[in-house]
Amino acid sequence: MYKANDTRYDTMKYNRCGKSGLLLPAISLGLWHNFGDTADYDNMKKLCFTAFDNGITHFDLANNYGPEPGSAEINFGRILKEEMLPYRDEMIISTKAGYDMWDGPYGNWGSRKYLISSLDQSLKRMGLDYVDIFYHHRMDPETPLEETMGALAQIVNSGKALYAGLSNYDGETLAQATAILDDLHVPFIINQNRYSMLDRHIENDGLYDKTLELGKGTIIFSPLAQGLLTNRYLNGIPQDSRVRTDGRFLNEKAIDEKLVSELKNLDEIASNRNQSLAQMALAWLLSKEAVTSVLIGASKKEQILDNIHALDNTDFSQDELAAIDAICEKIGSR
């Protein structure tokens, strides 16, 4: 059985999640990719062990992560049971429901029926009595907000989750949801959303400011813009890149000479900071007041180790910030 590194808490930074009592590691591990049925199980274990050995205590899942949907939770549950169960109380495990999960009218969106049923299934797949954070994964334009928030309240009150979270909400709906959850005395502590140097929609729709105003934590997914903010595409498109293997989120045609030229300009700024482009992109997010943690994905343990070094320097000069903004404005939102 796995034995954790005795020095695992020595270098990781932990940030308070909004005004709650919960601390999250500045860098968390997302299991969106590389934990499904098509991935190598031994490599999954290496990723989890490397993360935890370096103070990454938070593992983020969702009911539909795979492929197939549910398989990431099954595989993580197996790793937990066979290798990491003695460390359960040192771990923050989160999951979500909100996207299409099973056939019929009850396997999607935000009804009480769907959310409670989905979490029950997730707990069974992972072999857990509770998760630390349970998220509603996206806004539902049809279900009354009171019903969705009432389901989160019931879930927390039942002990199946310790905290509630919301994901992919805009600022206005987040404020409305907060008011309902406050009235229900639900520990809603965190918002999860997409954010990066190249994707700043949460600044533009008021979510960033609203999160600070409400005293909620923010955890970021896609901090590297699906790999654009790495060195992966600076010298052509690798055959094993996500663009080649899964073009749903990053279009090969978009990676043109103009984009690559500007990415190289960002890489030059990073190099002058003694950072890789990925490290600088993560550090840029972690320099933001509203950001509690960033979710990284990894296919190799070396990527985790490299990303952790973003914590070595999260301070930016005004000149650096201005230069980054100017380059990203040229690139435009991706």
| DSSP string for 244-264 | HH-TTSS-GGG--HHHHHHHH
- Residue 279: per-residue pLDDT: 98
- Residue 244: per-residue pLDDT: 47
CB 209 within 8 A of CB 173: no
Q: What percent of the chain has pLDDT over 90?
A: 88
- Residue 247: per-residue pLDDT: 53
**Rounded Cα–Cα distance for residues 187 and 190 (Å):** 9
CB 61 within 8 A of CB 96: yes
For residue 108 the two structure tokens come to 């999607």
What is the residue extent of each domain of the chain? 14-331
CB 71 within 8 A of CB 325: no
- Residue 238: per-residue pLDDT: 62
Which of 148-157, 228-237, 271-280 shows the lowest per-residue confidence on average (mean pLDDT)? 228-237
For residue 307 the two structure tokens come to 């990303």
Model confidence pLDDT, tens digit, residues 235-265: 766 655 555 455 555 666 667 788 889 999 9
Q: What are phi and psi of 270, to 5 degrees?
A: -60, -45
Which of 19-23, 114-118, 228-232 shows the lowest per-residue confidence on average (mean pLDDT)? 228-232
Model confidence pLDDT, tens digit, residues 176-196: 999 999 999 999 999 999 999
What is the mean predicted confidence (pLDDT) over 214-221?
98
Instruction: Note if the pTM is more than 0.85.
Output: yes
- Residue 235: per-residue pLDDT: 75
Residue 233 banded pLDDT, cuts 50, 70, 90:
confident
* Class in CATH terms, 14-331: alpha beta
C-alpha distances out from residue 194 to 77, 218, 312, Å: 26, 10, 23
C-alpha distances out from residue 148 to 97, 112, 222, 297, Å: 11, 6, 25, 29
More reliable by pLDDT, 244 or 233: 233
C-alpha distances out from residue 26 to 58, 147, 220, Å: 10, 32, 10
- Per-residue pLDDT for 229 more than 80? yes
Q: What is the DSSP letter of 158?
A: T
- Residue 166: per-residue pLDDT: 98
Coil vs helix vs strand at 194: strand
To which residue do tokens 């409305």 refer?
A: 176
- Residue 308: per-residue pLDDT: 98
Give burial (CB, 10 Å; 0-12/13-18/19+) of 223.
Answer: buried
Q: What percent of the chain has pLDDT over 70?
A: 94
Nearest to 132 by CA among 195, 81, 101, 89: 89
To which residue do tokens 């959310």 refer?
A: 115
C-alpha distances out from residue 34 to 3, 9, 42, 45, 46, Å: 23, 25, 11, 11, 12
- Residue 248: per-residue pLDDT: 55
CB 217 within 8 A of CB 20: yes
